[in-house]
């Protein structure tokens, strides 16, 4: 039996640091601004009480807070994708232990396509995060070269690591549901045809083993790629950290997005 892993895992080092750095401004505002708390409660209750009829208008925020909010939203979407892959890992393992034999192949196929789709979504979100950082920081001359070079390198690294799965996912969606990209599933599918359609009952014992092999291979794959997703996410955070993350776990806001850039310029101006 494949060992179970918990759905919730400890976050990698740099992901945790960015969670603190991006979350602290919002927490500080929440703690210090009663009007903000009351507005958030009012808007939340509107959705809770009438989710289908409520359309919330945008709330005005400063450019600095808006930048940090948008940064957090993209960052959190990457966390959600990693968590989704962890969930596929656990649910796939549990379902294979209890599914009826006649639904075994369909279930393996479903989970294969599920994790391929989640990997595709994860890559899209992680690349969006990289682009966001590049676009927001490159307008500040102090960051332009750093975010361009580091961001391009990280994007290529992510695409290189996930390329085999992205290609397989395209084959699943656009060409065929069963493909040679998953040898164990291809073998099981052919055995189903040989036994259920062509009547070769002598292959039943082989199919029983093929079902076990397909389930084991699925468990190995989803575990590997859920781990890889968290690793790539952490590497992107680490890669940018030298330029945009302070040692005290605070995000450096580009000068043009600061609420009061003139104060910083005054502090940096040499004495005359």
Say if residue 190's pLDDT is above 90: yes
Q: Which residue has the tokens 């601004």?
A: 33
Q: Is residue 201 domain-resident?
A: yes
Beta carbons of 113 and 172 less than 8 angstroms apart? yes
Show the domain range for 35.
13-42+62-254
44 confidence band (pLDDT: 50, 70, 90): very high
**Percent above pLDDT 90 for the chain:** 71
List the Cα angle 134/136/139 in 5-degree steps. Answer: 95
The residues, any chain, with a CB within 8 Å of residue 124's CB and separated by 6 or more, are: none
Identify the pLDDT of residue 178.
45
User: Given this model, what pLDDT does residue 168 score?
Assistant: 65
In percent, how much of the chain has pLDDT > 70? Answer: 88
Number of domains making up the chain:
1
The pLDDT score that the predictor gives to residue 271 is 55
Residue 159 is assigned to a structural domain of this protein: yes
Please report how many Cα atoms fall inside a 13 Å half-sphere around the Cα of residue 97, on the Cβ side.
Answer: 9
- The whole-chain average pLDDT of the chain stands at 88
With respect to residue 268, please indicate whether it lies within any of the assigned structural domains.
no
User: Model pTM?
Assistant: 0.86
């073998």: which residue's tokens? 187
Phi, psi torsion values for 245, nearest 5 degrees: -120, 125
Domain-embedded: residue 271? no
For residues 164-172, give the mean pLDDT: 67
Per residue in 193-228, pLDDT (tens digit) is 999 999 999 999 999 999 999 999 999 999 999 999
For the record, the structure tokens of 121 come out as 């979504």
- Evaluate if residue 84 carries a pLDDT over 90: yes
Q: What is the pLDDT of residues 1-25, one digit of tens each?
A: 444 545 478 899 999 999 999 999 9
Residue 153 lies in a domain: yes
Structure tokens at 103: 């639904």
Beta bridge partners of 245: 251
**Rounded to an integer, what distance in angstroms lies between the CA atom of residue 242 and that of residue 228?**
22
pLDDT at 176 over 70: no
What is the separation of C-alpha 192 from the centre of its chain, rounded to a whole number of angstroms? Answer: 35
Residue 85 has pLDDT above 70, yes or no: yes
pLDDT for 181: 59
Whole-number pLDDT of residue 263: 52
DSSP the chain: -PPP--SS-PPPHHHHHHHHHHHHHHHHHHHH-HHHHHHHHHHHHHHHH-TTT--PPPPP--HHHHHHHHHHHHHHHHHHHHHHHHHHHHHHHHHHHHS-GGGHHHHHHHHHHHHHHHHHHHHHHHHHHHHHHHHHHTTSTTTHHHHHHHHHHHHHHHHHHHHHHHHHHHHHHHT-SS-TTSHHHHHHHHHHIIIIIT--GGGHHHHHHHHHHHHHHHHHHHHHHHHHHHHHHHHHHHHHHHHHB-TTS-BPPPGGG-S-HHHHHHHHSPP-
Tell me the pLDDT band of 171, cut-offs 50, 70 and 90. Answer: low
- pLDDT tens per residue across span 223-244: 999 999 999 999 999 999 999 9
When mean pLDDT is compared across 57-61, 73-77, 120-124, the lowest value belongs to: 57-61
CA distances from 195 to 60, 106, 199, 207, 212 (A): 65, 16, 5, 9, 17
pLDDT digits (tens, 9 = 90+) for 130-158: 999 999 999 999 999 999 999 999 999 99
pLDDT for the residue numbered 174: 46
- Separation CA 33–CA 190 (nearest Å): 64
9 phi and psi angles, rounded to 5 deg: -115, 165
């Amino acid at each position: 039996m494949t060992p179970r892993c918990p759905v919730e895992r400890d976050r990698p080092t740099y992901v945790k640091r960015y969670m603190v750095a991006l979350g602290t401004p919002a927490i500080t505002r929440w703690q210090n601004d009663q009007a903000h708390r009351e507005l958030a409660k009012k808007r939340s209750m509107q959705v809770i009480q009438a989710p289908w009829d409520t359309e919330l208008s945008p709330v005005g925020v400063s450019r600095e807070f808006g930048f940090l909010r948008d940064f957090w939203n993209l960052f959190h979407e990457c966390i959600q994708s990693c968590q989704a892959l962890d969930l596929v890992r656990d649910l796939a393992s549990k379902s294979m232990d209890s599914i009826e034999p006649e639904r075994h192949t369909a279930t393996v196929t479903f989970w294969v396509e599920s994790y391929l789709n989640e990997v595709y979504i994860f890559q899209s979100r992680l690349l969006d995060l990289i682009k966001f950082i590049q676009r927001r920081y490159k307008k500040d001359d102090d960051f332009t070269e750093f975010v361009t070079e580091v961001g391009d390198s990280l994007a290529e690294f992510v695409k290189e690591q996930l390329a085999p799965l992205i290609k397989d996912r395209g084959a699943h969606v656009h060409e065929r549901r069963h493909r040679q990209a998953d040898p164990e599933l291809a073998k099981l599918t052919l055995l189903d045809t040989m036994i259920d359609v062509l009547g070769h009952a002598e292959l039943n014992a082989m199919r029983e083993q093929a079902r076990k092999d397909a389930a084991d291979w699925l468990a190995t794959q989803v575990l590997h790629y859920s781990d890889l997703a968290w690793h790539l996410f952490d590497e992107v955070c680490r890669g940018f950290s030298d330029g945009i993350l302070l040692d005290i776990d605070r995000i450096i806001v580009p000068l043009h997005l600061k609420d009061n850039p003139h104060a910083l310029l005054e502090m940096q101006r040499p004495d005359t």
